[in-house]
């Protein structure tokens, strides 16, 4: 990747690992966050669900941010991983799985593809008559709860965090894409939120034309 300019749009506190690996491969990395992680306005629904974990059969976590927020609330409520041991756990990808296993909890299912549809395919035949807790961002696609309910599961969806567009990134992004000699060759997207926010940050003005930029997707 020597000489390739890569724009990394991960949240500021998470960009380091990806940027570091790209630099090892010789890439010239530009960091402009397309996403910012914030606490939700209220943890009431998440806290209520965590207090009755014994009532659930499955726990689904769709991001490292969700794992971190959930364990923060467990600590706040003075609950331990003992309350989770009976649960079957599904993680949307290897990074989420690693974050869960670092907290001494076994992960039972990681889909082959790290998207909602693959989670559904992995769980559809296992959840009939089961109660499922889905911990995710405030705004997310409803594929998982919708399809698992159709499969006969009782699904509770609770928000653990929310994602917002970093306003300060707009000017930096426009500047980077207009800078001919320094314009990135590749943009990495690590979630659907980063794609939506990238488009939002571009706004109505056309700053990227055909052939000016190739778009890549990094693994989550």
What domains lie within the chain, and their CATH numbers?
5-35+165-217 (3.40.50.10090), 38-163 (3.40.50.10090)
Q: Which residue has the higher pLDDT, 44 or 9?
A: 44
Task: Check pLDDT > 70 for residue 197.
Answer: yes
- Output the pLDDT for position 214: 42
Q: How confident is the model at residue 31 (pLDDT cuts 50, 70, 90)?
A: confident
Q: pTM for the complete prediction? A: 0.74
pLDDT score of 127 more than 90: yes
CB of 47 closer than 8 Å to CB of 77 = yes
The lowest-confidence range among 80-84, 112-116, 146-150 is 112-116
- On average, the pLDDT of the chain sits at 85
At 217 the pLDDT is: 39
Residue 141 pLDDT: 73
- What DSSP string runs through 148-196? HHHTT-EEEEEEEEEEE--TTHHHHHHHHHH-GGG--SEEEE-SHHHHH
What is the separation of C-alpha 14 from the centre of its chain, rounded to a whole number of angstroms?
A: 11
SS (H, E, C) 99-111: HHHCCCCCCCECC
Is pLDDT above 80 for 186?
Answer: yes
Round to whole Å and give the CA distance between 167 and 179. Answer: 20
Looking at residue 199, its pLDDT comes to 86
Give the residue with greater pLDDT, 50 vs 196.
50
Binned at pLDDT 50, 70 and 90, residue 204 comes out as: low
Q: CB pairs under 8 A, 24+ apart, for 141-149?
A: 141/116, 141/192, 143/116, 143/117, 144/60, 144/62, 144/116, 144/119, 144/120, 147/120, 148/120, 148/123, 148/124
On the question of pLDDT at 107 being above 90, the answer is yes
Percent of the chain past pLDDT 70, that is, above it, reads 90
Contacts of residue 144, defined as CB under 8 A and 6 or more positions apart, other chains included, come to 60, 62, 116, 119, 120, 134, 155
The DSSP letter of residue 69 is: H
**For range 9-25, the mean pLDDT:** 78
- State the alpha helices, DSSP H only, in the chain: 15-24, 44-51, 64-76, 94-101, 116-123, 143-150, 169-178, 192-202
| Mean of pLDDT values over 70-81 | 94
**8 Å CB contact between 56 and 131:** yes
**% of the chain exceeding 90 in pLDDT:** 39
Higher-confidence residue: 208 or 6? 6
């Amino acid at each position: 990747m020597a000489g390739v300019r890569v724009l990394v749009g991960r949240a500021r506190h998470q960009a380091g690992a990806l940027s570091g690996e790209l630099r090892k491969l010789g890439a010239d990395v530009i960091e402009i966050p397309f996403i910012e992680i914030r606490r939700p306005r209220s943890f009431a629904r998440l806290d209520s669900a965590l207090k009755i974990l014994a009532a659930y059969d499955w726990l689904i976590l769709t991001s490292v941010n969700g794992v971190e927020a959930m364990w923060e609330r467990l600590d706040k409520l003075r609950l331990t991983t003992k309350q989770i041991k009976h649960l079957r756990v599904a993680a949307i990808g290897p990074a989420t799985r690693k974050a869960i296993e670092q907290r001494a909890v076994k992960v039972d299912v990681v889909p082959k593809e790290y998207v909602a549809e693959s989670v559904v395919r992995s769980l559809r035949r296992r959840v009939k008559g089961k109660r499922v807790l889905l911990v995710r961002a405030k705004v997310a696609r409803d594929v998982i709860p919708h399809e698992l309910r159709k499969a006969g599961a009782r699904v509770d969806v609770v928000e653990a965090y929310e994602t917002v567009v970093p306003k300060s990134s707009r000017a930096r992004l426009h500047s980077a894409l207009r800078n001919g000699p320094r314009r990135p060759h590749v943009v990495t997207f690590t979630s659907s939120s980063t794609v939506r926010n990238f488009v939002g940050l571009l706004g109505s003005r056309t700053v990227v034309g055909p052939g000016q930029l190739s778009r890549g997707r990094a693994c989550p």
